Structure 1
Amino acid sequence: MKPSVFLSLIQTAYQQFKREDAQPRKPLREDNPEKAWRMLQASERRSHIALCTIVVMLLACLVKIADLQIFQSSDIEANGQQFYRYAVTRNLPAKRGQILDRQGNVLANSELCHTIWASPEKVIASGKKAVLAGALKISTKELDKRMAVKRRNVIVGKCVDDRTTTAIRSLKIDGMTFENEYKRIYPGGAISAHVVGLVGSDGNGLEGVECFANQALAGRDGRRGVLRIPGGKVLEELWRQESEEGTSLTLSIDSRIQTIAVEALQKTVARHEATSGSAIVVDVRNGEVLALASWPSYNPNVRSQLNYDSVRNRVVTDMFEPGSTMKPFAIAKALDMGIVKPDTAISTHPGKILVEDQIIGDDHDYGVLSVAEVIAKSSNVGTVRIALQLPSQTLWKTYSELGFGQKPEVQIPGATSGKLRPAQRWGVVEHATIAYGYGVSVSLAQLARAYTAFAREGDVVPLTLFKTDRERVAGKPVFTPETAKEMLKMMRLTVLAGGTASRLKIDGYTNAGKTGTAYKVKNGAYDKNVYVGSFVGIAPMTRPRIVTAVMIDEPKRDGHVGGVVATPVYKEIVERALNVLNVPSDELTRLSDNFRKP
């Protein structure tokens, strides 16, 4: 009770007593007035003594209450806490599994850290507020802001490392409690960001493998029941259910090749002032993805810089019209069906062809070309003449079997299926344009997978981001082995003199591939000043090991065609990747093959 309340009670009692004492007395008895007077005086003395006694008792109570409230409050609270106890259930966070590359290098790891709780009242009373702020590496103003929450205990530090936590413990501030948690660390930073992804503040995956394999990586949290007293101090543990650590995953990614790809894209995007660049490297033996790179990238350790353009994995999420990189598929099917042969003459004169009401043309009038030269020169007219000899349903089925129009089986969320309309909805013009890469949209991952048909024996393999135990897996047949070999030979002409990628030369290794250049659609129409340049290649041609696909989006300076903007990126990646993988040169391969002959 407040002192003012007691004073009010004393004053009320005194006023009441005074009123009663001042009331008129009964008239004295006439028979003995002296005795009556003495009795009246005795009554007044007793009343005064009683009043004084009451006042003294009230004052004593007031003094005691003041002593308890002001001077002994902390002792009383401490003693009371020994008797006031309550049980609570606390979470025991599970350690998230690691993500490793194929060599065992850590791409994502969880490190132990701590959440620090404190009583604002006790921090201030300790006189160590400034020291605590310094240990947390924040200003006293920021610490005041964190302690401004109207609660007995507040969080003053989240995800604090062991060293800082030890320093704060040494301050010995009453009422502080420490809870274990885990912080996700990404040693690869921007290099592996688009593959690994990142987790949110709740510890669940948001992008990449972190999102796709969240359940396996997360493990299972544990729980424990504890007996606590006000202020947060734990008296004893009542029960415990241990957490289960998440499963660690080993990816197919080779960090060395991944680094090569990201650095090559970064340089090229800057040189050509492009919007972005993407690349994927696939092991044709088993579909393992050795590199999956996009630029611009982001650092998952620095959340303040995140934005959609940098976070999304363009290799699987972005679709584009591929242009001439689609041409080999229609020609391969025509070879398969016996409609043409590599040396079949195709007239492209006069450098254009009328398909219904649409004119389709080449950059030059190439005259008569062989089928092999149609690929080397990347002739639209020649490709259309061949493709129109194929039934539309047959061509659509070929594209579908190659994986176009379907989500690729790669373990990255948000993968696009692209756009491939059913054959029943094709007109003659669409039948023609799809053959040279317009009227169809694909992702770079789909394109790379489709080219495994030429690197193998006509079959395509599903892509995987996880390391497999099998050196070679069976694929889905699309073309005959003979057709695949012939196409490889014809695509070899693309990188020789007169081909659209004649700048591509890698010492010791032969390459086969196809360039692509396409206009982009802006505001519902093709903008002939905005391009996508691409190249998909197979190396080494003598014994294919990798398929590499590169796409440069909207290059604005120093060229725009695939052979100029994408082929140099391919060269830098493949030249170094073959060395990293210890792939024998063509000469060593020939010597090895001759040695094995009887």
Structure 2
Amino acid sequence: MIRLEGAVYPWRFRIVLVLLGLMVCAIAWRIVDLQVIDREFLQGQGDARSVRHMPIPAHRGLITDRNGEPLAVSTPVITLWINPQELAAVESRWPELANAVGQNPADLSARLRANKDREFLYLARGLIPEQGQQVLDLKIPGVYGVEEFRRFYPAGEVTAQVVGFTDVDDHGREGVELAFDQWLAGVPGKRQVLKDRRGRMIKDVQVTKNAKPGKTLALSIDLRLQYMAHRELRNALIENGAKAGSLVIMDVKTGEVLAMVNQPTYNPNNRSNLDPQAMRNRALIDVFEPGSTVKPLSMSAALQSGRWKPSDTVDVWPGSLRIGRYTIKDVSKTEGRTLDLTGILINSSNVGMSKVAFDIGGETIYKLMQQLGLGQDTGLGFPGERLGNLPNHRKWPQAETATLSYGYGLSVTAVQLVHAYAVLANNGRSVPMTMTRADVQPAGAQVMSEDVAKTMQGMLQQVIEAPRGVFRAQVPGYHVSGKSGTARKNSVGSKGYRENAYRSLFAGFAPSSNPRYAMLVVIDEPSKAGYYGGLVSAPVFSRVMSSVLRLMNVAPDNLPEVPEPAPAPAPAQAAVQQPVSGGRI
């Protein structure tokens, strides 16, 4: 007789039934848990495969001049990207796509084959919206577009080195764009969309985070002055066959830089053939020996020491001075054996300036130059700005004392030098320089005696207006003050100076009766008519300062006196005929 196993061992059958029941209960509980209790998990997993967050681009902040004129704006563009895996299925349309974006069909085909395993590849960036939409309208599988912003610079090459530019990802790379990148950069937003497994958008759900545009930045630059200074500097380089040049205009009361131009320059809107040398903001990056333009600073140190007054005289005969193995020479013949302090500046006498420096010592000159900002950080925060070098010695030898007094042995930037002249023009008060518009006039600090500064203003006025002065710097209708300078250029990689290589400089301010604006002109390696600062740079100062004073509505202080009209003669009285006594009628 045969018996069933289940009948022999009934407990095994019951165990199997219990296990099957537990499994059913576990499955049922998991279904309830996922669908009711922990439903967010499945929703999250589903959303991860269909819901996407697309970035909403945010444009950079507007850069304007002090009057609101745009210097840098963001314009919408379309960037095209492709999925090579999807494009592999429509190889016949590759030539059509290449022609639409202006690329060589063979190059595009080779690129697609080399990246056939990738899912993302840029096709073209920064297309104007119309051009990008034309490509998208072809409906080629695997071709997609995304909206971005690209920087445009309305002033072009005129403000190129000041404003700078951004890269293809809209990040600042030069100039103000880099220095204020965090201020100008916008914060992208997010848009929630539904996409299928091929990445095609099915539905635009909602905006989860609004884009935040960058902040507007108002510079201190006056675009009118910038255009005018750019034109005059460019013409000066052509007329003198010069290599390069810089020009800086500063408001002496507020410390604002009103114009900063450099030559050569470039077009930031088209950088396809960009020369890296043209990108340099020479006014902030190039350092040089300032030559005779620092003599007014050394003379100010002498006046402030109390040991000298303007009427004191110095024996400069015979126009040379031997110090050890060095000989100091005057470039031009002076008016006589002795010169007063103003005469030393007018004749630009190295011998006279050196003898004054020997009396007061190099340390006195060094301290004043340091207080005026030479060799110091200007605080502009401009990328790549250099500090120059203001040498200091524990014990000042005569040679170093002399060279410092007339502008050799130290190196400065154009903005440092124009700031030093602005302190002289502002009655000895130093205000911080700024590249942004100053809505409140800063207090500044008194770094020089007010009496000394005013005395120096008058002496520098005579440097231009005296019979032997720099007459080419005169501005019709205005009294101006300033000093020319000519400095030999150092040899690169060796000691000494180059032959026939000079920098021509002129620094000054106007109007002398109430100084408002300081200016520095630097012409690098003029090669035609001459190289002296009074011959090359002074005429540029005259033309630019004349336009500045008129554009800024500064009242003239040197108009010729109009003679009073002579009084009109009294009208003759009509004769009255009187009857003759006793006469006949």
* Distance of 1:131 and 1:209 partners within structure 2: 41
> Once the 2 structures are TM-superposed, how far is the Cα of residue 506 of structure 1 from its aligned partner?
1.7
* Distance of 2:256 and 2:457 partners within structure 1: 21
2:253 is equivalent to residue 285 of structure 1: yes
1:553 paired residue number: 524
Q: Which amino acid aligns with 2:261?
A: A
* Distance of 1:232 and 1:247 partners within structure 2: 34
Structure-to-structure mapping, 1:189-588, within 5 angstroms: 189-236=156-203, 240-366=208-334, 367-424=337-394, 426-470=396-440, 472-522=441-491, 523-586=494-557
Of the three residues 70, 81, 104, the one matched with 1:117 is: 81
* Distance of 2:560 and 2:427 partners within structure 1: 18
Q: TM-score, normalized by length of structure 1?
A: 0.80
Of the three residues 160, 163, 182, the one matched with 2:127 is: 160
* Distance of 2:101 and 2:94 partners within structure 1: 11
> Once the 2 structures are TM-superposed, how far is the Cα of residue 237 of structure 1 from its aligned partner?
5.2
* Distance of 1:505 and 1:467 partners within structure 2: 29
Q: Which amino acid aligns with 2:184?
A: L
- Rate the CA distance shift 1:425–1:443 in 2: closer, same or farther, 3 A: farther
8 Å CA contact 2:332–2:347 kept in 1: the answer is no
Unaligned runs of 5+ residues in structure 1 are 1-81, 592-598
Q: TM-score, normalized by length of structure 2?
A: 0.82
Q: Which amino acid aligns with 2:243?
A: T
Of the three residues 42, 48, 60, the one matched with 1:96 is: 60
2:43 paired residue number: none
Q: Which range is displaced more, 562-571 or 129-138?
A: 129-138
Give the ranges of 4+ consecutive aligned residues of structure 1 lying more than 6 Å apart after TM superposition: 588-591
2:582 paired residue number: none
CA deviation map 1:253-289 (0-9, x unaligned): 0111111111112122222222210010001110110
> Once the 2 structures are TM-superposed, how far is the Cα of residue 491 of structure 1 from its aligned partner?
0.8
Q: Which range is displaced more, 377-386 or 88-97?
A: 88-97
> Once the 2 structures are TM-superposed, how far is the Cα of residue 519 of structure 1 from its aligned partner?
0.9
> Once the 2 structures are TM-superposed, how far is the Cα of residue 474 of structure 1 from its aligned partner?
2.2
The total of aligned residue pairs comes to 509
> Once the 2 structures are TM-superposed, how far is the Cα of residue 171 of structure 1 from its aligned partner?
2.6
8 Å CA contact 2:477–2:559 kept in 1: the answer is no
- Rate the CA distance shift 1:232–1:321 in 2: closer, same or farther, 3 A: same
- Rate the CA distance shift 1:173–1:349 in 2: closer, same or farther, 3 A: same
8 Å CA contact 2:66–2:220 kept in 1: the answer is yes
8 Å CA contact 2:342–2:463 kept in 1: the answer is no
> Once the 2 structures are TM-superposed, how far is the Cα of residue 180 of structure 1 from its aligned partner?
1.2
> Once the 2 structures are TM-superposed, how far is the Cα of residue 119 of structure 1 from its aligned partner?
4.7
Q: Which amino acid aligns with 1:446?
A: Q
* Distance of 1:247 and 1:128 partners within structure 2: 44
CA deviation map 1:183-242 (0-9, x unaligned): 111111110011101112232211111111111111223344544334321234567322
Q: Which range is displaced more, 379-388 or 331-340?
A: 331-340
CA deviation map 1:10-62 (0-9, x unaligned): xxxxxxxxxxxxxxxxxxxxxxxxxxxxxxxxxxxxxxxxxxxxxxxxxxxxx
Provide the alpha-carbon RMSD of the alignment.
2.5
* Distance of 2:141 and 2:241 partners within structure 1: 58
Q: Which range is displaced more, 153-162 or 434-443?
A: 153-162
* Distance of 1:140 and 1:426 partners within structure 2: 72
Identity between Structure 1 and Structure 2 (%): 35
Q: Which amino acid aligns with 1:546?
A: Y
